Amino acid sequence: ILLGHPQCLDYEPPFKPPVHLEFCSQYEQFGCCDQEKDNTIAEKYWSIMDYFDPQGHQMCGGYIKEILCQECSPYAAHLYDAEDPYTPLRIIPGLCFSYCSEFHFKCQSSITLLTDDKNLQESCEKGQDLFCDVLKLPDKDYCYPNVLHNTDLNNNLGSVVEDQEGCVKLCLVEVANGLRNPVLMLHANDGTHRFFVAEQIGFVWVYLPDGSRLHEPFLNLRRTVLATPWFGDERGFLGMAFHPKYQRNGKFYVYYSIMDESKNEKIRISEFHVSAQDINKADPHSERPILEIDEPAANHNGGQILFGTDGYLYIFTGDGGKAGDPFGRFGNAQNKSTLLGKVLRVDVDSKGTHGKPYGIPQDNPFLSEPDASPEVYAYGVRNMWRCSVDQGDRVTGKGKGRIFCGDVGQNRYEEIDVIVKGGNYGWRAKEGFECFDLKLCQNSSLGDILPIFAYSHQVGKSVTGGFVYRGCESPNLNGVYIFGDFMNGRLMALQQVGITNDWKKQDICMGDSTICAFPKLINKYSKFLISFGEDESGELYFLSTSQPSAYSPKGSVYKLVDPSRRAPPGKCKYKPVPVKTKSKLLPFVPKQKTVLEVLKQSVKATKTPKISATSAPVLTKQSPTSVLVPTKRSPTSALVPTKRPPSSSKFPLKTSKTNIPTD
């Protein structure tokens, strides 16, 4: 099966131009040119056509336009042989033999107007066969114009790539490593585009937009946090959220495990302030505990806190641990008088009654029930691990404010829930869509809300909730909820489809070397998928490790990338607010080789560099592994030749404007 690999000459995926292309309009739906590039190609075309009289225009104008416009093709990198680091960049794209033969027969002398490459000009003069042999591509599927009609290459062009089983193929960028069970990644929404990564052991680190990390941590709670080196221990530093008005008040909140003086285990939610002297440091003396909850067992500690679009703080607690929620007549999760197994909602900007350091929102759903805790917003929760707020569609705002959670199951099912006020999410009566406690399950007053998706333990055994993608760089992923499974590292996606808005699930696979051959991209990651994160631009990340221990520095952070389509150039640019740093900066050093680096090594082992007649010797090919703007020129950036074509020209030349004799 032929696998298409759309790629532009800047080594990035193609895109949908934001405005109409006047010249290379064939590629205005999907390709590698924006309006500026289209205008550049048009200028070169008209500067070449100045040498032709009307008959020459009619005979060769179409060929020259088609050849020049291949820079806009979504397969431009293939057409110009840009992917092979051991061959120079072509000035003329790879042409299929029949098309090349026609072009040579009708317009052979125009080659001097298209390129000043002596080797290519000489091959043209020596005859059709040699000329077309020089212009042929190693892979015939990509030669022009056959590439336009190849159904394997053009079906679903610009859509996410799927294999035969429907698995969506994505790629990754490694952005951080050497972390001890990285449990969360978040941003402060303050314009700096920093991101913060917390380790289970109690450190929070600051990363700058250039990828470097500050040597000093933002927060160090290692001496306070209850964490152990045991594999799979669920206790530790588990959650963090910046106040919606963080830029003004400098407040943020954390969720972590503690052991009090009486050796009782608890979860604590505290408020901190950023340091007045350094925006990259928390004030360690500013901690104000706002809630502590006794934990009857070491597991099921919950751990998520976040601010909803309503400005209130949401706290997601576990059911208290052990197995089967054995606490009381029907467990903690179904008991609205306890704070365990719940989604809580509090107002951290006001003080409550009875000395509570927070207020209760007036519309919390169970205020009229005398036995219910007023903090309870939703219940029937087992152990929700990673929840997120949908930022909404960038244009329409659709979906904004929805809260998605992954709730870890007991013996049979993992589930994804959308949280609503007053909702009962079933546990321990139900697990996924099935009954767990038969007596509770048959209670007609249960009124539980079913998951939007659940999967069996044949698929995975510990769900990690994710995010709805609302970024800019991968437009095909807009509105897709991406999540995974901790135990086997499986990545999955949910998307609402059809009139009924049913949720469709697809697996996510890593693209192979034909899919992920772009700068920075990798296609392997550490297995144990701990968490997901979102940066200030809405791009999506996940955090995983090869050794799930709070003391093992094997954790990494990866950015998810759709290699099939990018946003138009310039659309996703942002200017971070400058950050003054007082701590030493540690530059990022990736541990994994990119797909391009692996390919380059493979090619180098089997191939020696060669000089090709298909390129002008003045062009130096940039290494595909470079992150910077390519140093090699695109074909249209070459200087327009000013010399006249040779006298063997088979087409009439215009003489009145250029005063170039035809003899």
Judge whether 41 and 636 are in contact, CB under 8 Å. yes
Q: What is the amino acid identity at position 111? A: I
Give the N- to C-terminal CA distance of the chain in Å, as an integer.
53
Residue 197 placed within a domain: no
Q: What is the amino acid identity at position 137? A: L
CA dihedral 573, 579, 581, 585 (to 10 degrees): -10
Token reading at 479:
């509105």
Burial of 149 (0-12, 13-18, 19+ CB in 10 A): exposed
Of the given ranges (53-57, 206-210, 224-228, 487-491), which has the lowest mean pLDDT? Answer: 53-57
> In Å, what is the CA distance from 545 to each residue of 95, 460, 489?
47, 17, 10
Residue 81 placed within a domain: yes
pLDDT (0 to 100) of residue 639: 37
Residue 146 placed within a domain: yes
Residue 251: which pLDDT band, with cuts at 50, 70 and 90? Answer: very high
**CA–CA separation, 339 and 317 (whole Å):** 7
Residue 313: which pLDDT band, with cuts at 50, 70 and 90? Answer: very high
- Which is it for strands 502-510 and 168-179: parallel, antiparallel or unpaired? parallel
> In Å, what is the CA distance from 454 to each residue of 98, 395, 400, 407, 561?
55, 30, 23, 9, 25
Residue of 189, 249, 186 lying closest to 219 (CA atoms): 186
**CA–CA separation, 80 and 93 (whole Å):** 5
Residue 624 placed within a domain: yes
Residue 18 placed within a domain: no
User: Tokens 């059911």 map to which residue?
Assistant: 319
Neighbouring CB atoms inside 10 A of 214's CB total: 21
**CA–CA separation, 90 and 84 (whole Å):** 11
Residue of 265, 440, 464, 468 lying closest to 383 (CA atoms): 464
For 109, list phi and psi in degrees, rounded to 5. -75, -15
Residue of 446, 453, 364, 470 lying closest to 405 (CA atoms): 453
How many CA atoms does the CB half-sphere of 364 hold within 13 Å? 25
Q: How would you write 152-184 as a 3-class SS string? A: HHHCCCCCCEECCCCCEEEEEEEEEEEECCEEE
- Asked if the model's pLDDT at residue 649 lies above 50, the reply is no
Residue 81: which pLDDT band, with cuts at 50, 70 and 90? Answer: confident
Of the given ranges (42-51, 164-173, 524-533, 535-544), which has the lowest mean pLDDT? Answer: 164-173
Strands (E), 152-299: 161-162, 168-179, 182-186, 195-199, 203-207, 213-214, 219-220, 237-242, 251-259, 265-273, 288-294
Judge whether 107 and 60 are in contact, CB under 8 Å. yes
Question: Mean pLDDT score of the chain, rounded to an integer?
Answer: 90
For 604, list phi and psi in degrees, rounded to 5. -60, -35
Q: Which of 29-47 are b and which e, b meaning 16 or more Cβ less than 10 Å from the residue's Cβ?
A: ebbbbbbebbebbbebbee
pLDDT (0 to 100) of residue 89: 75
**CA–CA separation, 207 and 48 (whole Å):** 50
Q: What percent of the chain has pLDDT over 90?
A: 80
Of the given ranges (103-107, 148-152, 331-335, 543-547), which has the lowest mean pLDDT? Answer: 148-152
- The SS3 of residue 441 is helix
Host H or E run for residue 313: strand 313-316
pTM value is 0.87
pLDDT (0 to 100) of residue 11: 86
pLDDT (0 to 100) of residue 535: 98
For 655, list phi and psi in degrees, rounded to 5. -115, -20
Mean pLDDT over 376-385 rounds to: 98
Domain count, the chain: 1
Residue of 7, 2, 16, 5 lying closest to 478 (CA atoms): 16
pLDDT (0 to 100) of residue 528: 97
- Asked if the model's pLDDT at residue 278 lies above 90, the reply is yes
Residue 581 placed within a domain: no
Mean pLDDT over 519-543 rounds to: 98
Residue 392 placed within a domain: no
**CA–CA separation, 214 and 582 (whole Å):** 9
- Asked if the model's pLDDT at residue 166 lies above 60, the reply is yes
DSSP letter, residue 605: H
Helical axes 97-107 vs 128-135, angle rounded to 10°: 130
Residue 159: which pLDDT band, with cuts at 50, 70 and 90? Answer: confident
Judge whether 525 and 539 are in contact, CB under 8 Å. no
Mean pLDDT over 341-354 rounds to: 94
Find the domain containing 31 and state its range: 25-158+599-637
pLDDT (0 to 100) of residue 610: 42
Residue of 375, 365, 366, 381 lying closest to 425 (CA atoms): 381
pLDDT (0 to 100) of residue 140: 86
List, for residues 208-219, the tens digit of each pLDDT value: 999 999 999 999
pLDDT (0 to 100) of residue 86: 58
Residue 71 placed within a domain: yes
Residue 635: which pLDDT band, with cuts at 50, 70 and 90? Answer: low
**CA–CA separation, 199 and 222 (whole Å):** 10
- Asked if the model's pLDDT at residue 171 lies above 60, the reply is yes
Residue 292: which pLDDT band, with cuts at 50, 70 and 90? Answer: very high
Mean pLDDT over 413-431 rounds to: 98
Mean pLDDT over 113-123 rounds to: 92
> In Å, what is the CA distance from 220 to each residue of 225, 272, 433, 478?
9, 12, 41, 36
Host H or E run for residue 540: strand 540-545
Judge whether 49 and 58 are in contact, CB under 8 Å. no
Token reading at 520:
């920075």
Host H or E run for residue 54: helix 54-68
pLDDT (0 to 100) of residue 85: 57
List, for residues 475-486, the tens digit of each pLDDT value: 999 999 999 999
Strands (E), 347-429: 376-379, 384-389, 403-407, 413-419
- Asked if the model's pLDDT at residue 620 lies above 80, the reply is no
pLDDT (0 to 100) of residue 607: 58
Angle, CA 42 vertex, CA 39 and CA 47 arms, to 5°:
125
Residues in the chain: 663
Q: What percent of the chain has pLDDT over 70?
A: 89
Host H or E run for residue 493: strand 491-497
Residue of 365, 350, 487, 362 lying closest to 421 (CA atoms): 365
Mean pLDDT over 386-411 rounds to: 97
Mean pLDDT over 405-425 rounds to: 98
